[in-house]
A = this chain, B = another copy of it.
Amino acid sequence: MVKSWATSPETLGVDLHIDVGGAGLRSGLMDALREAVRSGRLAPGVRLPSSRTLAQDLGIARNTVAEAYGELVAEGWLTARQGSGTRVAQRAAARQDRAHAHRPPARRSPAHNLLAGSPDLSSFPRAEWLKAARRALAAAPHEALGFGDPRGRIELRTVLADYLARARGVYASPDRIVICSGFVHGLMLMAGVLRARRVREAAVEAYGLDFHWNVLKGAGLRTPALPIDELGTRTQELGERKGVGAVLMTPAHQFPIGLPLLPDRRAAAVDWARSAGGLVLEDDYDGEFRYDRQPVGALQGLDPEHVVYLGTASKSLAPGLRLGWMVLPEHLVGEVAEGKGESDWMCGALDQLTLAEFIASGAYDRHVRGMRLRYRRRRDELVAALAEHAPHMAVTGLAAGLHAVLSLPPGVDERTVIQAANWRGLAIQGLGAFRHPDTAPGEWGGLVVGYGTPSDSAWAGTLEVLLQVLAAVEG
């Protein structure tokens, strides 16, 4: 029961709302007094009525008021001095005007979304995930809920070692796996390792994600870019760059250009790492999704002591899980685990245990296979629709992943097309958005079509809008 009471000017001079429901009486009075101070209705220095007076006013026991005053003195809201009574403390600030607050801009979702980088979130296997969570929690030892091993739960590292060896050709054992909260977290840990080794430069690819480069820059590394030609990233140039101690790459499916790294280039990367004592950081972001033949195995398998394999559940399940994994050269495991342990960057144990159960039960393979079919169907629909409605535009990067690159006709600026798309409510990016600052514009161009992003129900409509935009360009 809530009772509103106005005290006389002689006492508080303010309206207070107080819950007089018995046991909550004292705390209700305290809440009301705190709020009055915060809002500025009770100014610093103001003398409060004696507990006897206020108790009479409120029709409650004097003791209740005295206790509330005592608590608020203990909390620092009020001061009580012999002879001067109970007053509002000087430091109990008036509330600031919240309208002036700095707030991050709200993120609004576009009507149609072909931005690359997200899987179809509507396909997350909620029921299967919950089943796995139930089994995992039933089986978990109590210590699993404690702080635990900085490398992550052994249950997850064990099933991942099997899975990655089987599905991705990774040379893995539970001992050399470290669980992290996603690719960027893994990259941060590696950036720390590189900094500790006094590496000054980590090469990156000429096209990629700037927030990945920024992680390396944040650790004080320079990030020169390796050019990309029609055979992929020019790893053979690594040997010519003396300051470089690591290279960050997407060998299975270059992001965003979509090319796989060809055998010679794979070899050149590993050769360089071996002769220069460098590290290859292999971002295997969508290695599970390859459509036309067996997935190309991970580069890491070629030389597990010079390649750090980084994978995540962000594309295969959902980014919101915040689960990733690193497979490390053995001599780096201790260093990375130590860096991770110090920073308290553990992923939640329950999600780790659930993913372990999800993989071990076969649900992960089933989900990946199902999604592969679904994305492949979309890819085929995209290709067919473009062949029919925009025959002059080539599509590349189709062999794998959740995105393709659409080349625009000569003379058409990708920014013009993106603007036209935005006007129709379609969010899409061009290759230019992914260009490294060292790279001259114009070598690569086109739209990055993230066909994995929409839900199944939104896909047809999204494709339709894309075709309208392209028709306007061609027209």
Contact = CB atoms under 8 A, between A and B. Distances in A.
From A76, A263, A301, A333, residue with most partner B Cβ within 10 Å? A76
Given A130-B134, A263-B75, A321-B350, A124 B101 contact: no
B318 A146 contact: yes
B185 A344 contact: yes
B333 A347 contact: no
Contact of A133 (B133, B151, B267): B133
Contacts of A331: 101-102
Nearest to A260: B74
A296 to B, nearest CB: 6
A102 B297 contact: no
Nearest to A147: B319
A75 B149 contact: no
Contacts of A90: 267, 271
B173 A75 contact: no
Given A34-B301, A76-B302, A145-B121, A102 B320 contact: no
Nearest to A332: B102
Interface stretch (A9-17, A136-144, A365-373, A420-428): A136-144
Interface stretch (A175-183, A389-397, A436-444, A467-475): A175-183
A162 interface: no
A184 B343 CA distance: 7
Number of copies: 2
A142 B100 CA distance: 32
B320 A147 contact: yes
Contacts of A107: 149
A301 B75 contact: yes
Given A142-B124, A320-B147, A305 B93 contact: yes
A263 B74 CA distance: 5
Interface stretch (A239-247, A334-342, A407-415): A334-342
A38 interface: yes
A27 B166 CA distance: 9
Nearest to A134: B130
Interface residues of A, number: 106
Contacts of A155: none
Contacts of A184: 343-344
Contacts of A77: 297, 301-302
A146 B319 contact: yes
A109 interface: yes
A316 to B, nearest CB: 12
A248 interface: no
B294 A27 contact: yes
Interface in A56-110: 71, 73-77, 79, 89-93, 95-96, 98, 100-104, 107, 109
Contacts of A93: 274, 302-305
Contact of A302 (B92, B96, B173): B92
A294 B67 CA distance: 10
A323 interface: yes
A26 interface: yes
A299 interface: yes
A181 B344 contact: yes
Interface in A19-77: 26-27, 30-31, 34, 38, 71, 73-77
Interface of A: 26-27, 30-31, 34, 38, 71, 73-77, 79, 89-93, 95-96, 98, 100-104, 107, 109, 118, 121-122, 124, 126, 129-130, 133-134, 137-138, 142-151, 166, 169, 171, 173, 175-176, 181-185, 188, 211, 214-215, 218, 260, 262-263, 266-267, 270-271, 274, 293-294, 296-297, 299, 301-305, 318-323, 330-331, 333-334, 337-338, 342-351, 455
